[in-house]
């Protein structure tokens, strides 16, 4: 029995998380447990367990006696999380540059240049892949796990600014060109700028 309950919780957790990350459940909105339970023909308990897990991960807030809400982020919180992200990524690029998977980067470069990469889904895939190549170059499991802890919020913040895909693609291209030319410092500077741009556009969009 316990095993079955757990798998339902896992599934409902993934469904709710996806809706938060892709902003189907808007920032600050109330999450209706009963509605979710009814929609998926399950009891309230696994929905509540899933929401508790999401609140431990900083995506949901549990307001006592009121219910669960999609977490609101202040500009400062976004900037703080993005500062940590920037620290991890620029560190890895600077210190593990030679260990980057250049074959993967080359094939990504081709992907980015085709028009298809401007589609939301494709862009999400390319963006995650690119930044993960940089983190994985460290081959440091401890660092990789720490990065994973903020990765959901990175995905969420990416979806706050729907207009940025074209610009972000261009920035990715320029970083990759520096990497493939072996210009490490250039690449690090451009990556730093890219993440700062992501940060400020997400922070700007949270105001509205």
- Is residue 59 within 8 Å of 152, Cβ to Cβ? yes
Residues sharing a CB contact under 8 Å with residue 48, sequence separation 6 or more, in sequence order: 33
Subset of 31-70 contacting Ni ion (CB under 5 A): none
Judged by CB, which is closer to Ni ion: 33, or 173? Answer: 173
Q: In whole angstroms, how close is the CB of 46 to Ni ion at the nearest point? A: 34
Q: What is the DSSP letter of 114?
A: S
Residue nearest to Ni ion (CB): 127
Q: How far apart, in whole angstroms, are the C-alpha atoms of residue 191 and residue 177?
A: 12
Q: Is 89 in the site for Ni ion (CB under 5 A)?
A: no
Judged by CB, which is closer to Ni ion: 45, or 118? Answer: 118
Residues in contact with Ni ion, counted by CB under 5 A, come to a total of 1
Q: Which of 16, 59, 69, 127 binds Ni ion (CB under 5 A)?
A: 127
Q: In whole angstroms, how close is the CB of 19 to Ni ion at the nearest point? A: 22
Nearest to 175 by CA among 64, 97, 60: 97
Grouping H, G, I as helix, E, B as strand and the rest as coil, residue 52 is helix
Judged by CB, which is closer to Ni ion: 127, or 161? Answer: 127
- Is residue 112 within 8 Å of 169, Cβ to Cβ? yes
Binding site for Ni ion (CB under 5 A): 127
């Amino acid at each position: 029995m316990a095993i079955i309950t757990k798998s339902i919780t896992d599934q409902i957790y993934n469904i709710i998380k996806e809706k938060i990350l892709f902003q189907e459940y808007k920032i600050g909105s109330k999450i209706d447990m009963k509605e979710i339970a009814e929609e998926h023909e399950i009891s309230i308990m696994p929905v509540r367990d899933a929401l508790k897990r999401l609140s431990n991960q900083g995506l949901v807030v549990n307001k006592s006696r009121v219910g669960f809400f999609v977490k609101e982020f202040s500009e400062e919180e976004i900037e703080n999380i993005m500062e940590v992200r920037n620290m991890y990524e620029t560190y890895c690029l600077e210190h593990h540059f030679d260990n980057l998977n250049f074959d993967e980067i080359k094939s990504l470069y081709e992907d980015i240049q085709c028009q298809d990469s401007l589609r939301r889904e494709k862009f999400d895939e390319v963006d995650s892949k690119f930044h993960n190549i940089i983190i994985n170059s460290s081959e440091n499991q401890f660092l990789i796990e720490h990065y994973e802890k903020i990765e959901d919020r990175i995905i969420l913040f990416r979806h706050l600014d729907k207009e940025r895909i074209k610009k972000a693609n261009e920035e990715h291209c320029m970083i990759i060109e520096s990497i493939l030319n072996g210009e490490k410092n250039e690449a690090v500077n451009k990556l730093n700028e890219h993440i700062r741009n992501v940060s400020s556009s997400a922070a700007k969009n949270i105001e509205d």
